[in-house]
Amino acid sequence: MRLRDETRVIPIVARVLAVLAYFGVAIGLIAIAIPQSRDTSMLPKGGQIALGLFAATIPAIYVLLLGYIHGDARRRRMRHIVWTLLAIFIPNLIGVILYFILRDPMPVFCPSCGAAVKSTYAFCPQCAAALRPTCPQCKRPVEHTWSHCPNCGAVTLMAKQAAATTAAPQPL
């Protein structure tokens, strides 16, 4: 998962908005806010421009981050509009942080029909192909290493196979 591949999910609209935000904020800061503020107006002109160019990266990075959440949530088959709005409207970046804590794992592809499906699914919703081992009794997904189903307690097929292998008569 290289950074180059990850940035590809950022929609073009977000990239354009980030550039506009950068120049809009930089010009506003350098032309108006920095010369008028008592704290920064005594800086030399070069320092004022450098400060404005640096400070303007913050809103631009924020816009790119929102674009990334939109594209990444869509790629993970999550509610990408809802998550983008939460990231925008929950203050202090808490929506952004929540997204990265709660995001779903990347979808996997059905080996039978190629549809993108959630990695937690036991069967493909498009073609019903089995995607993971399931409990023989309740059909919920189980892990390869589990001997019993966590949902109904039934012995899994893997455990039955392991028992059959160990119970086989040993050569004398």
Nearest to Zn ion of 93, 152 (CB atom): 152
> Near Zn ion by CB under 5 A, which window of 32-40, 45-53, 121-129, 163-171?
121-129
122 binds Zn ion (CB under 5 A): no
Minimum distance between the CB of residue 133 and Zn ion, rounded to whole angstroms? 11
Nearest to Zn ion of 28, 153 (CB atom): 153
Nearest to Zn ion of 74, 140 (CB atom): 140
Among 151, 160, 161, 163, binds Zn ion (CB under 5 A): 151
Dihedral angle sign, alpha carbons of residues 88, 89, 93, 99: negative
58 binds Zn ion (CB under 5 A): no
Q: What torsion, rounded to 10 degrees, do the Cα atoms 27, 31, 35, 37 define?
A: -60
Give the separation between CA 93 and CA 145, rounded to whole angstroms: 39
Nearest to Zn ion of 20, 127 (CB atom): 127
Residues lying near Zn ion in the complex (CB under 5 A) = 110, 112-113, 115, 124, 126-127, 129, 135, 137-138, 149, 151-152, 154
